[in-house]
Amino acid sequence: MMHTIRSYAKINLTLDVFSKLPNGYHGMSSIMQTISLFDTLEMRLIPQIAIQFTCEAPLSPDVPSGSDNLVVRAISLLLNHASSVGKRIEYGIACHLTKMVPSQAGLGGGSSNAAAALRGLNTILQLDFTTEDLVELAAQLGSDVPFFLYGGTALASGQGTEIKPINDIPMLWMVVVKPSISVSTKWAYDQLDAIPNRSSHRATLRMQAAIENDDIERILSIQCNDFEAPVFEHYTELAWLADEMRMAGAISVHLAGSGSALYGLVTDQEAALKTAERLQRVHPRTWVVRTLSRNEAAA
């Protein structure tokens, strides 16, 4: 029997990056949001105790196809944990990942795949681990992975692994564009650290209040991302793309994570389709998406 899981992408409605912590990581605060662009993970049980993994990623040839893929790492981690707490595993797992979420885009594709693998394996093997159990394991795989076990709209803090689900925002339509260039996350953090006397926008708590008050105008106006200043300064083509998206009809345009994908909010689905049509003439990797509620992201 095949178990199929949709592995959704995310955007950061806010992304506040604070100073570096003693462990070398940065403190951060963000409102993270699931969007409808997704990969598909198919999983089935096999008789032999093994992990069989295949991957189809036409838009992301750099995605690892072996044991270093986050899907394989997540499955191995959960199987080892299950064994350590006395759960008997009598089957192996075969899984196939079909990727549509581009890599090196700031959309969290790999992290979402890891969370989907944890959820799917927990279900297919009937391990009965709680979401909180899975979150503890997810934090070992990457800072974004815990968010995808909740989905919808959530506050991320600490090193990004402390997740607090909040009210789902009203449904918003947007256009996502992934240009040919990529932005290294490490490079982006280094650029922030090099800015003298840098201060964060610290917009996350204001965005949380706007969402809790269902204030769509403030939700649109408060969006910001601390990475945008250094990324747009160095990668001027991304700054130009942001202008191009606004001219094509986007109300506001921001980086997804540390980039290089950009998302532009629009008024409705019709406007999104028209905006995307204009952009796709030059930027073939353009998608019309919408925000997802927590229930939709978990379905």
Angle 82-85-90 from CA coordinates, rounded to 5°: 45
DSSP letter at 277 equals: H
Q: How confident is the model at residue 21 (pLDDT cuts 50, 70, 90)?
A: confident
For 195-215, how does the pLDDT look when each residue is reduced to its tens digit (9 = 90+)? 998 989 999 999 999 999 999
Radius of gyration of the chain (CA): 19
Crossing angle of helices 131-138 and 109-124, in 10° steps, is 140
In this prediction, residues 81-110 reach a mean pLDDT of: 94
In this prediction, residues 234-251 reach a mean pLDDT of: 97
Q: Which residue's entry shows tokens 């295949």?
A: 54
Q: What pLDDT sits at residue 98?
A: 97
Q: What pLDDT sits at residue 110?
A: 95
Domains along the chain? 3-167 (3.30.230.10), 173-295 (3.30.70.890)
The CA distance from 265 to 280, in Å, is 16
pTM metric for this prediction = 0.95
The candidate with the shortest Cα–Cα distance to 162, out of 284, 30, 276, 1, is 30
Which helix (H) or strand (E) covers residue 206, if one does?
helix 204-212
In this prediction, residues 59-86 reach a mean pLDDT of: 91
What does pLDDT average to over the chain?
A: 95
In this prediction, residues 179-202 reach a mean pLDDT of: 92
- Does pLDDT of 1 surpass 80? no
The CA distance from 230 to 238, in Å, is 11
> Taking the CB of residue 289, how many other CB atoms lie within 10 A of it?
22
The CA distance from 64 to 73, in Å, is 11
For 128-161, how does the pLDDT look when each residue is reduced to its tens digit (9 = 90+)? 999 999 999 999 999 999 999 999 999 999 988 8
- Does pLDDT of 24 surpass 80? no
Q: Which residue's entry shows tokens 């789902």?
A: 168
Q: What share of the chain is helix, strand, coil (3-state, %, to 5)?
A: 35, 30, 35
> Taking the CB of residue 223, how many other CB atoms lie within 10 A of it?
22
Q: CB-hemisphere CA count at 13 Å for 269? A: 5
Catalytic residues: 10, 144
Q: How confident is the model at residue 63 (pLDDT cuts 50, 70, 90)?
A: confident
Task: Give the residue, 20 or 112, on which the prediction is more confident.
Answer: 112
